[in-house]
Structure 1
Amino acid sequence: MPLNFTAIDFETANSSPASACSVGLVKVRGGRVVERASWFIQPPVGHDAFLEWNTRIHGIVASDVVGAKGWAEQYRDIVAFADGDVLVAHNARFDMGVIAGGCSATGTELAEHHSLCSLQVARKTYTLDSYRLPMAARAAGYEGFQHHDAAADAEACAAIVVHAAGQHGCDTVEALGAATRVHIAPVRPRTEQPRATAQPRLSNRPMIFAD
């Protein structure tokens, strides 16, 4: 089987996993990028406050998403783009939490997804001082991209997985997961409560500072 997957990256308006304001998607077929997509997302009411901290990170403000589709409409496009692929993300727990959180907050049925974390793959492939996305991507020979731009981050993530697969002699994401002992995990539903106000966090990637 060929090395096929979809790399994905979200940026969020605040610390709520349901506050996705941007998504980047990169489709890989046979180890090569064949399609790219990205767009703004209007976060649902109760999760739509744009915190200064998050805006400083990704540069997106509330006016940027005016007129953008909401999660329920956008999610269908994400599912269609991925077309059943394993979803690859750098710190996949965050990005898969965004998918589950957005679905929960909007009453949208969560599709069946499985994910592979490129952060964990990088840790089993390279010897680095930091495994944040720019450093891991540089180890994979991919650099000079605009970090925290969702489209650019998704492409960097894809580059890491393609390079790591070559390093481990793997021709599928499943084989790469097995070689690095990184579990390809199902995305599970979650309960997301509306937030009238959101408090700042140290990062727009909650709990793990690895992107």
Structure 2
Amino acid sequence: MTVDFTAIDFETANSSSASACSIGLVKVRDGRVVDRVHQLLRPPFPHDEFAYWNVRIHGITAEMVADAPGWADHLPAFLEFAGGDVLVAHNAGFDTGVIVGASRAFGLEVPDFRSLCSLQVARKTYHLDSYRLPSAAMAAGFEDFAHHDALADAEACAAIIVHAAKRHEADDLDALAHITRVKMGAIGPVATRERAAVHGPMALQ
């Protein structure tokens, strides 16, 4: 089973997609976690206000990220870690949207990545009352993690995809997406064009 991918999770300071204040990354090779990274990030002005509810959820404050790198500084390390992997996230549209929003806030070109949503995969794999990350992770055998810690959430997301791939006997993420009928997402100019070429113009809507 060649299940290779990078799981990703962002926490944000407020409702702006450019306000990333924490990122967790988990690299999976052959269905096993081989590397992990967690990094606090300093959101750029004017996206740097820490909203009360966000802080209450993840516990990160403006003081905690005062000396942290911004997305522009962290981007090379992120690109090196993720390489050409498919990015996996629970509600992937949110996390890939943060990559887009943060990159544009710094005047950077949006990097090219395909993505797969573990939330959508979980809905096609398990029969649950709730498909929130803790519930879906528990179904995959991953329990008692610090929800809303970016690294812990990325690890939980990785566990869901690995378990789902085994359950569906999928050899890789493309096979898993096909079996579960979950469309791959795409960000960045090249990845978006390639997705449109495969799925047609409606894929971009």
Instruction: Report deviation, 1:185.
Output: 1.4
- Give the TM-score, by structure 2 length: 0.91
Partner SS, residue 115 of structure 2: strand
- Where does residue 180 of structure 1 map in the other structure? 180
Count of aligned pairs: 189
Q: Deviations over 1:32-71 (max 9, x none)?
A: 0000000100001100000110000000000110111111
Indicate the structure with greater helix content.
2
Q: Deviations over 1:109-152 (max 9, x none)?
A: 21111100000000000000000000000000000000000000
* Maintained 8 Å contact 2:111/2:188: no
For structure 1, list consecutive stretches of 5 or more residues without a partner in the other structure: 190-211
Question: For 1:71 and 1:35, how far apart are their aligned partners in 2?
Answer: 21
Written as runs of structure 1 = structure 2, the 5 A alignment for 1:25-64 is 25-64=25-64
Q: Matches of residues 134-153 of structure 1 in structure 2 within 5 Å?
A: 134-153=134-153
Which residue pairs with 2:109 in the alignment? 109
**1:125 counterpart = 2:137:** no
Q: Distance in 1 between matches of 2:130 and 2:82?
A: 29
Opposite residue 8 of structure 1, the aligned amino acid is I
Q: Which has the higher contact order (CA 8 A, sep 6+)?
A: 1
Give 1:22's aligned amino acid. S
The Cα RMSD (Å) is 0.9
Conserved 8 A contact 2:13-2:19? yes
Give the corresponding residue for 2:159.
159
Secondary structure in 1 matching 2:176: helix
Residue 188 of structure 1 deviates from its aligned partner by 4.5
Aligned-partner SS, 1:38: strand
Corresponding position of 2:203: none
**% identical aligned pairs:** 62
Q: Counterpart of 2:7?
A: 7
What letter matches 2:18 in structure 1?
A: A
List 4+ stretches of structure 1 deviating above 2 A.
none
